[in-house]
Amino acid sequence: MNIPDAYSQLDQWNSVMFLYDSALKAINTKIEILNGEFVHIYGHTPIEHIKSRLKTPESIVKKLKGDGHEVTIENMVEKLSDIAGIRIICSFTQDIYKIADMIARQKDVTVLYVKDYIKQPKPNGYKSYHMVVTIPIYLTEGPVETKVEIQIRTVAMDFWASLEHKIYYKFEGNAPDFLEAELKACADMVDMLDAKMFSLNQSILALGQDGLE
């Protein structure tokens, strides 16, 4: 990203945040269109809901400091990949890969990297599909490739992640062992529930019904 030196720090901040906000809007629109198209191809709506957010100045500073970087706008643009974040919540694990593939195949979307915590869950039981992409934002002086972190997970995985996040923050990362064990057990139940709901839906589809919408 090329930011004119003459800009004041505040102007730089505002123009950078304007880019991330625009990138969220652009990706959101793409996802809504893909969701509509998905209905035609697969006969059901894959996406339950979408949440998007811009990282707050406080968490940007905290993250940069925590990672040992100087707090500068340049570092925030270079080092952080989740200033613009979108979370897509689906019904079924199988739909996650179809949605991820649809996003990756968009001509103007560049996938920087993927972290597949579904195929390789984190030791605590966390499951989710993460993609960091860039999308060009067309300003008057030309396109600016802007990073967006996309997290895709099922309703059940999201339920688990919200509670885990709450516990993690409450205990500042040092939750008692029994809670960690309980969370891990819940993560296994999430797997079972996701698998069961999928096979149930498949059976309903095979019977010629509309499936679980």
What is the 3 state secondary structure string of 29-64? HHHHHHHHHHHHHHCCCCEEEEEEEECCHHHHHHHH
Q: C-beta of 82: minimal distance to ligand GTP in Å?
A: 6
- Selected binder of ligand GTP within 49, 105, 165, 170 (CB under 6 A): 165
Q: Give the three-class secondary structure for 92.
A: coil
- The secondary structure element, H or E, covering residue 91 is none
CB of 50 to ligand GTP, least distance (A): 15
Instruction: Spell out, one character per residue from 138 to 157, where the chain touches ligand GTP: x when CB under 6 A holds, - when not.
Output: -------------x------
Residues 6+ apart with CB under 8 A from 5: none
| 164 makes contact with ligand GTP (CB under 6 A) | yes
**Residue 86 near residue 74 (C-beta atoms within 8 A):** no
- Strands 142-154 and 84-90 come out as parallel
> x/- string (CB under 6 A) for ligand GTP, residues 63-102?
-------------------x--------------------
Q: Which one among 55, 127, 130, 153 touches ligand GTP, defined by CB under 6 A? A: 130
The dihedral built from the CA positions of residue 70, 72, 77 and 82, taken in this order, carries a sign that is: positive
Which of 97, 126, 159, 198 contacts ligand GTP by CB under 6 A? 126
Selected range binding ligand GTP among 32-40, 69-77, 161-169, 205-213, rule: CB under 6 A = 161-169
State which residue, 38 or 191, has the beta carbon closest to ligand GTP: 191
Is 51 among the residues that bind ligand GTP (CB under 6 A)?
no
170 binds ligand GTP (CB under 6 A): no
User: Residue 151 Cβ, how far from ligand GTP at the closest point, in Å?
Assistant: 6
Residues 6+ apart with CB under 8 A from 37: 102
User: Which tokens belong to 156?
Assistant: 């059940």
Q: What is the DSSP letter of 67?
A: T
Rounded Cα distance, 81 and 64, in Å: 11
Distance in Å, CB of 10 to ligand GTP, minimum: 26
Residues forming contacts to ligand GTP in the complex (CB under 6 A) are 82, 115, 122, 124, 126, 130, 151, 161, 164-165
